[in-house]
Structure 1
Amino acid sequence: MTKSNPPRFTATLAGFGTLFALSLAPLTAEAATEIRVAYGNQPGEPVDVAVKAWAERVAEASDGELTLAAFPASQLGGETEVMEQARFGSPLITITAYSNFMSSVPDLAVLDAPYLAEDFDSKLKVFDSDWFAEQEQKVEAAGYHIVIPNTVYGVRHLLSRNAVSAPQDLAGVKVRVQNSPMYVAAIEAMGAVPTPMSLGDVYPALAQGLVDGVENPLPVLYGGKFYEVVKTLNLTGHMHTVAPFVTGQAFWDQLSAEEQQILTETGQEMATNLRGLVEQETAKSMQALTNAGVEVHELDTTAFRERAGEEIPAAFPQWSDGLYDRIRQIMEE
């Protein structure tokens, strides 16, 4: 008895099924949108921990259709470079300073003014104000979109070679700042010589004597291991920094309304998480710096505060009339 061959249509359908499945595979892979998140902070610092937790929430909320890839330690470039990448449409979100909008939306830079606020709760009131809503519209017209406006970055202090008690103690002292007109003006108002550079370049610059100090929140000062080179922590408390996470408006417009909502809502969760991490890590970093042999120097900041109040508004004639006082009024309401 001769065995019959299997029907040809069975093999054909099986082959077609395989081809159909293979044809769907790249479509499924391409459906997910990956967004790079760039920041200068080191792995393990609060920003890094919060961003990675944010990535998990975004993937969960979008069923994997939207993903965030963390790029710490200035891997994608300095702040100015990354901001330009975002503005030209790269799928990228970066944490920046409000003062980096000085050329496009100058009034926003006031939020980074030294000694403007004495605590975070009062400063966070600004982000619910009509004034800030007006600034957001100007940011979008300049080609950017603020994804998260209100992330608490920390209270900034000065780590330097010598103790500082008054502005005159900083005469001739070179302090690293980010490349921003406000930060440059802030350090000048404090009496020092501002030296702009990327956060990733600070350690070798301190070691080589190119700068004498660096200002930042305690977790950043500890995470960057700058205490290995300079050993005096001056509690200047010159800024209560609240920073935005920003992307380009062109890229933002490419996202669906659902994707935008996911990023916005989970972004606010991230901001809450980051504030808690900053508070926890600030206390831990203070102890760690002390254990590393850093001398903690407390000082009366009255002279610094008065000098900043006079010099900062005068340094920015492009600001709206009465801007500095208007922001202080919003915070006091």
Structure 2
Amino acid sequence: MRLNKLSLFIAAASVAGMGLTSTAQAETVIRIAYGNQPGEPVDVAVNQWAEWVSEASNGELDLRPFPASQLGSETEVMEQARFGSAIIAITAYSNFLDSVPDLAVLDAPYLGEDFESKLKVFDSEWFADQLEQVHSSGYHIVIPNTVYGVRHLLSRNPVSHPDDLNGVRIRVQNSQMYVEAIRAMGATPTPMSLGDVYPALAQGMVDGVENPAAVLHGGKFHEVVKHLNLTAHMHTVAPFVTGLAFWEQLSEEHQQILTETGQQMAEYLGELVAEESEEARERLRSEGVEVHEVDTQPFRERAAEQIPTAFPQWSDGLYETVYEIING
């Protein structure tokens, strides 16, 4: 497990919960918020995490999963956490763009070619410095390194080069990073909620959608567009975040339990994601989708050129610095 510098920082630092009572031994209920549907890898892993936490704390910590955005959008849940609610939420590093801008680089396209390389960044001095800024902004990252999935492009026509995406409208989530990522790949980014994608594809409002294969299959988008292009433009790693005020209310023992079992959960989730990704790709193929291998080098070069200029709020040389940490 990755418990060196990163874990020492987290353990020394002062994640989310509700229903605190007056005695230290009383049960602390912590709501776990995520947008994934029941049965998806994140949901399965969070439910397992809840069991591990209950066992390790002798029932003093009670994690209660809230899938399918039941507690609100990522932005709304993050605000609830910052203001002291007993919540731990999975989010995207790009959602820190306003509070800790440099962290958003971790969602930039083509930073790493695999998760093993990408995860190296969480053991770096650079990331330790970012964690200090996260605390200054009122948050605490409980689990920094949960593997979320490799994002590919499902489109109406095959894609093998950025030129193939000229004028092609690709649905993205409403995030500046995802908008700029798709623009850097050569397409026209079209932000909309995931729930609106199927009719938008069917009506020709968009020509494609990007996401991990499991999400693409789950949304049944392949019923409309039939080409899965293995662009692997993002190896997405997501943090579980809470408010610093709540985290500091917890005992050191409870902080340690959440941190250590959280790392177990991150490893378990990584295994689930790898299995689900391969299975989803095969399901897509068996249901009539053509799967295309893609030479990612032209996309990689465009991203390295265009992404840094799209974020003037970043520190000088940030993209290159983090790229070197990951690939050095």
TM bucket (normalised to shorter chain) is: 0.7 to 0.9
Rg bigger for which structure? 1
Aligned position for 1:193 = 188
How far has the Cα of 1:182 moved from its partner?
A: 1.2
The verdict on how the C-alpha distance between 1:109 and 1:162 changes in structure 2, with shifts beyond 3 A counting, is same
Alpha-carbon shift at residue 159 of structure 1 (Å): 1.4
TM-score (norm 1): 0.86
SS, match of residue 72 in structure 2: coil
Residue aligning to 1:8 = none
Determine which of 123, 127, 137 is the counterpart of 2:122.
127
Taking the aligned partners of 2:194 and 2:136, their CA distance within structure 1 comes to 29
State the 1:210 CA deviation: 4.1
Aligned residues: 307
TM-score computed with the length of structure 2 as normaliser:
0.88
Partner SS for 1:320: coil
Aligned counterpart in structure 1 of residue 251 of structure 2, from 227, 250, 256: 256
How far apart are the structure 2 equivalents of 1:199 and 1:75?
16
Shift of 1:213: 2.1
Offset, 1:275 = 0.8
Give the whole-Å Cα distance in 1 for the aligned partners of 2:41 and 2:159: 27
Aligned to 1:69, the other structure's residue is in SS state strand
| Shift in alpha-carbon separation, 1:247–1:196, aligned structure 2, 3 A | farther
Distance (Å, rounded) in 1 between the aligned partners of 2:253 and 2:189: 43
Partner of 2:277: 282
* 1:60-209 pair list within 5 angstroms: 60-209=55-204
- Residues 68 and 228 of structure 1: is their aligned pair in 2 closer, same or farther, counting only changes over 3 Å? farther
Letter in 2 for 1:282: S
8 Å Cα contact 2:226-2:290 kept in structure 1: yes
Q: Alpha-carbon deviation of 1:198?
A: 3.7
- Contact preservation (8 Å) 1:117, 1:240: yes
Output the CA distance in 2 between the equivalents of 1:209 and 1:68: 43
> Which of 237, 240, 243 matches 1:242?
237
Q: Within the alignment, does 1:293 sit opposite 2:322 as a pair?
A: no
Pair 1:318-2:313 in alignment:
yes
Does structure 2 conserve the Cα–Cα contact (< 8 Å) formed by 1:146 and 1:245?
Answer: yes
Paired letter, 1:279? A
Classify 1:36/1:182 alpha carbon distance in 2 versus 1 (closer, same or farther; 3 Å): same
Q: What is the CA-CA distance between 1:164 and the residue it aligns to?
A: 1.4
Q: Percent identity?
A: 73
Structure 1: distance between partners of 2:22 and 2:132: 36
Separation (CA, whole Å) in 1 of partners of 2:170 and 2:34? 21
User: Alignment partner of 1:31: what SS?
Assistant: coil
The residue identity in structure 2 corresponding to 1:48 is D
Is the CA contact 2:111–2:326 (under 8 Å) kept in the aligned structure 1?
no
**Matched residues in 2 for 1:209 and 1:76: separation?**
32
Preserved contact between residue 95 and residue 244 of structure 1 (Cα < 8 Å): yes
**1:244-297, Cα deviation, whole Å (9 max, x unpaired):** 111111221222222211111100000010111111111111111112222212
Q: Which one-letter code corresponds to 2:182 in the other structure?
A: I
Q: 2:218 aligns with which of 216, 220, 223?
A: 223
Report Cα offsets for 1:175-234 as digits up to 9, x if no partner.
222222211110111122223334444444444544332211112222333323332211
CA contact (8 A) 2:34 2:90 kept: yes
Gaps of 5+ in 2: 1-20
